[in-house]
Amino acid sequence: MTEPTLFDISQPGKRCTRMPAADVPAPALVDVVPAEHLRAEPPALPEVTEPEIARHYARLAAQNFDVDRHFYPLGSCTMKYNPKVHEAIAAAAGWARLHPATPAEHVRGALRLIRDVEGWLAEILGMAAVSLQPPAGAAGEFTCLRIFRAWHDARGDTGRTRVIVPDTAHGTNPASVARCGWTVTVLESGPDGRVSTGTLAEALGDDVAAMMLTNPNTLGLFETNVLEIAAMVHDAGALMYCDGANLNALLGRARPGDMGFDAVQVNLHKTFATPHGGGGPGAGPVGVTAALEPFLPIPRVVERDGALAWDHDRPASIGKVQAWFGNFLVAVRAWAYIRANGADGLRRVTEDAVLAANYVRAALEGAFDLPYDGACMHECVLSAKTPTQETGVRAAEIAKALLDHDIHPPTMYFPLIVDEALMIEPTETESKRVLDRFIAVMLEIARAAREQPEALHDAPTRTPVRRVDEVTAARQPFLRWRPE
């Protein structure tokens, strides 16, 4: 890397600010911190001025790709624009400075907010009860499976060890199954990109604990047989879990609870206003049916003697899945987002997200391959199979070419059942002008792939870093700068 680090520009004695000398005697450090915890020498921190440090980080930030400056149609990730007002509300000292150990009687407003968000999500999902505790979508999956396991165990039904997961599922689904100590039975999708009930019947058995289904699935297609699928799974004594990361396609229009699901997780950081992608905190609340409610993580917010309080005394609970009550400030953003939109606004979010995806699909299906015909939900999956076969231009090269147009690439090579997949999720927050520009750029890239494929092999040419060695980066990640 050619970028200088702060250590490279460090010079002894440089400081950002200089405090006036104290006019009272300072205690010796050893009187404050026990000697065995003191380091022998001061740490080798870089010494720089304030403008140097400000410019260093501003320059790094400007090299990044972010949703505030760029269209970001990364499928399945719902990279919508997050209104800044929700950040301001979450940053208010009354929320941001709360200590989680504060006794309930001093933070009833926070308990009320948790209960409001739980109640609204329960209504949106069609579920009896919700817990905000899991800190991410994958953690929500794991929590639901643990709840399923506790339910089976409580009935003395301990021989169930298999979980059925369609081949279009997000990779976190099989990972959650493994974490739960169960094994995965992969279900091959039917020719229409959906679960086929015939294949499901063959996979079911009295050792099946659950089925995990994403609806709409990661091809952006609604599982139209979901009621029949749920009935089959229930008849086999198993439970139905909904991967609800794609809730942007359902708000106010359809509810997992009405589709026969017993539990669902929601990604607040995708649909409900928390920025994500940089590894920051998210939240994966789970909603369950009344029969599963006793197993939800503790503590729960309950009403006791006319006031809200924490309830830790729930013997059937699976326990805790995250410190304290989960990532509370993510719930604050969701509270603000739900209030700002209202029921009509949330329905509009979904209608506009689905409209945008279909607008893009209809405009591009002539220039790329469309592996599964028909309308999509909140995202569309195209394939670059034809350009790959004809001129060797792969999905990855199309993605790199988009970077030169200041557009973030779609999700690539996922779902795994589509060759050269390009999974595009435009979201509801983009204007028609932005979508039209994206379509024009994609059509131009499709033409270049036919007429001058060499040009695409060099892309990107305008980014701070061009092609990186992705295999080495994934296998031997180099995440930390170390002094020589």
Ligand X SMILES: *Cc1c(COP(=O)(O)O)cnc(C)c1O
Show the DSSP H helices in 25-136 as ranges: 29-32, 50-62, 84-91, 93-96, 108-125
Report whether 364 contacts 234 (CB < 8 A): no
Q: Which range of residues in 7-15, 58-66, 135-143, 467-475 is near ligand X by CB under 6 A?
A: 135-143
Segment 164 to 183, residues that bind ligand X, using CB under 6 A: 170, 172
Cβ contacts of 444 within 8 Å, gap of 6 or more: none
Kindly tell me which residue out of 82, 189, 215, 267 binds ligand X, with binding defined by CB under 6 A. Answer: 267
Report whether 97 contacts 105 (CB < 8 A): no
Q: Which is nearer to ligand X, 335 or 414 (CB)?
A: 414
- Report the alpha-carbon distance of residue 248 to residue 442 in Å, rounded: 24
CB of 171 to ligand X, least distance (A): 8
Q: Which range of residues in 50-58, 132-140, 301-309, 423-431 is near ligand X by CB under 6 A?
A: 132-140
Report whether 264 contacts 287 (CB < 8 A): yes
Position of minimal CB gap to ligand X: 137
Tokens of 483: 């002094």
Burial string for 7-34 (b: 16+ CB within 10 Å, else e) reads: eebeeeeeeeeeeeeeeeeeeeeeeeee
DSSP class of residue 405?
Answer: T
Phi and psi at residue 7, to the nearest 5°: -70, -35
Instruction: Work out whether 185 is an interface residue with ligand X (CB under 6 A).
Output: no
Q: Which range of residues in 131-139, 234-242, 255-263, 291-299 is near ligand X by CB under 6 A?
A: 131-139
Segment 272 to 311, residues that bind ligand X, using CB under 6 A: 282, 284
Instruction: Work out whether 76 is an interface residue with ligand X (CB under 6 A).
Output: yes
Kindly tell me which residue out of 90, 245, 308, 346 binds ligand X, with binding defined by CB under 6 A. Answer: 245
Instruction: Work out whether 218 is an interface residue with ligand X (CB under 6 A).
Output: yes
Q: Which is nearer to ligand X, 308 or 334 (CB)?
A: 334
AA letter at 398? I
Kindly tell me which residue out of 118, 243, 397, 428 binds ligand X, with binding defined by CB under 6 A. Answer: 243
Question: Which residue matches tokens 């997000």?
Answer: 170
- Report the alpha-carbon distance of residue 134 to residue 266 in Å, rounded: 10
- Report the alpha-carbon distance of residue 245 to residue 157 in Å, rounded: 29
DSSP class of residue 419?
Answer: T
Contacts with ligand X: how many residues (CB under 6 A)?
14
Kindly tell me which residue out of 73, 134, 137, 287 binds ligand X, with binding defined by CB under 6 A. Answer: 137
CB of 320 to ligand X, least distance (A): 18
- Name the nearest CA neighbour of 116 among 272, 240, 314: 272
Total residues found in the chain within this entry: 484
Q: Which is nearer to ligand X, 78 or 391 (CB)?
A: 78
AA letter at 209? A
Kindly tell me which residue out of 113, 136, 212, 334 binds ligand X, with binding defined by CB under 6 A. Answer: 136
CB of 273 to ligand X, least distance (A): 14
Kindly tell me which residue out of 48, 110, 138, 424 binds ligand X, with binding defined by CB under 6 A. Answer: 138
Q: Which range of residues in 118-126, 241-249, 351-359, 420-428 is near ligand X by CB under 6 A?
A: 241-249
Q: Which is nearer to ligand X, 245 or 381 (CB)?
A: 245
Kindly tell me which residue out of 143, 214, 271, 274 binds ligand X, with binding defined by CB under 6 A. Answer: 214
Q: Which is nearer to ligand X, 214 or 427 (CB)?
A: 214
Cβ contacts of 243 within 8 Å, gap of 6 or more: 137, 141, 169, 170, 173, 212, 213, 214, 215, 264, 265
CB of 204 to ligand X, least distance (A): 23
Catalog residues that contact ligand X under the rule CB under 6 A: 76, 136-138, 170, 172, 214, 218, 243, 245-246, 267, 282, 284
